[in-house]
Structure formats: C-alpha cells, structure tokens
Amino acid sequence: ATVRQQQQEVSTKGGGRDGDKGKGRSRGWGKGGKGKAQMMFWVDPTLKVWIGGLPEDLKWKELQTHMNQAGKTEWVEVFCGKGKGTGAVVYNNIDDARNAITTLNGSELNGNTIIVDPWVRAEKPKAEQTDTPPPPLGAGPE
C-alpha cells in the first residue's frame, strides 16, 4: 500500500476527519477524532475550564460557539454518562481561560445558566483517613 493509502486506512479506523467511520464511546470528542481524545489529560490545567449546568442534549459545537466569546478554544468536550450536564474547554492561553471564567460564568446557553470554573482535578478519596500524619521518612522504631 502507498503511504497515502496507509494514512487513509489509519484515519478511517478512529473516526477521523477523512473517513468518519469510527464508532465513538461518547459524543464529547471535541475537535478531531479518537486520536485527540487524550488531549484533555496532558494539557496544562491553567488553560482548562470546567463547565456545569449544560443542557443534556447540547452538542460540543454549540458549546464551542458560546465559549469562543471569551477567546479561541483549542478543545471542547461535552461529557456524557456520569458527567452528563458538564463539559470542559481548553483555551490557547491563560488569559482567554481567565476571561471565560469571569465573563461567561452565569451566562445563558440554550436556556440554561451555566457555571464556568477553573479546572481542578478531583482528589481521589483515600481508603483510610487518619488524624495523625505519617512519620517522617527514615524515622524508625526507637
């Protein structure tokens, strides 16, 4: 196969732009296809904002149009499943992300008042919580 045929074959497997034959697990892939889905995990958290109060039937493109009022979006995702009614947006720079928080928090989108907050990764609950801090490293029994 030629290089172009290989590229087309690869792009159609994941629901990319060229083939668009892939089956998605969610409709929240944002710009692009399966290959870009990992972007949300490694991007600088200061460029991300969390969105709450979204209509359940909202499409990512509608969210993108609304969020572009604050600056150029790099990535837009509308969550489904457990995260239904929420989403995330990545901006090109920190100023646009801050602008989105200050100007779009409390704005209306398709009849819903949305919440726009800084992206904060949720802490995993600890199996057992203790009131006493652990001993310093190297401290052994006396």
Over the stretch 50-93, which tens digit does the pLDDT of each residue have? Answer: 999 999 999 999 999 999 999 999 999 999 999 999 999 999 99
Of all residues in the chain, the percent with pLDDT exceeding 70 is 57
pLDDT tens-digit profile of 108-122?
999 999 999 999 876
Contact indicator for 109, 55 with CB cutoff of 8 Å: yes
CB-CB contact of 83 with 94 (8 Å): no
Q: Give 87's contacts (C-beta < 8 A, 6+ positions apart).
A: 28, 50, 51, 54, 58, 60, 63, 76, 77, 78, 79
The edge-to-edge listing of strands for the beta sheet with 86-91 is 73-78, 86-91, 48-52, 115-118
